[in-house]
Amino acid sequence: MNADSLRQVCREHASASLNSLVMACRRRFVEAARLMEWDTPVLTHLSGLGICTPLELWPLFPASSLMCDRYIEAFYSPQRLLISGPADEPDQKWWRYFHYQLVPGLVANDDVVRNVLRAVGGLPCGNPQEAARVLCHHLSEMTLPDSLPCWAPAAA
């Protein structure tokens, strides 16, 4: 599988991946609000997001493409395919990375959680597209899990 094929797989599965991210953000926000014993109409709406009310994922599609592109840039290597087994297929590695490393790291960031939820209409927001744009900016600048920051010295 080459990098373009992996990008295509990412696009084909973007809705499912983004749904997973949104649900993780929703869960974190709702749990934090319940810990504080807050019960508001916004929290009621958010609790039903994706369950009672449909998700509008389209504002997050640029973020999905950006995450995939950053992953490919940082971790994809066609040489690894020569010595890999089925579990090491690039699409399987991307899926594991996204769900077990990237999403938990993103959900740990309060601003990411709020902007994901604002972008999909889970939290009040005057401009959901701007929330999605801010999220993309964060994704473009963040250090990916299992990678060195851009300012770190190169390995000798």
| pLDDT recorded at residue 85 | 59
Instruction: Look up the pTM and report it.
Output: 0.86
Q: Mean pLDDT over residues 33-47, rounded?
A: 91
Look up tokens 């973007």; give the residue. Answer: 14
Report the C-alpha gap between 15 and 137 in whole angstroms: 20
Alpha-carbon gap, residue 48 to 62, rounded angstroms: 25
What is the rounded CA–CA span in Å between residue 94 and residue 88? Answer: 10
Q: Is the pLDDT of residue 24 over 60?
A: yes
Which tens digits make up the pLDDT trace of 76-126? 877 655 555 565 677 888 899 999 999 999 999 999 999 999 999 999 999
State the Cα–Cα distance between residues 68 and 79, nearest whole angstrom.
19
- What is the pLDDT, as a whole number, of residue 84? 59
Burial (CB < 10 A; 0-12, 13-18, 19+), residue 84, is middle
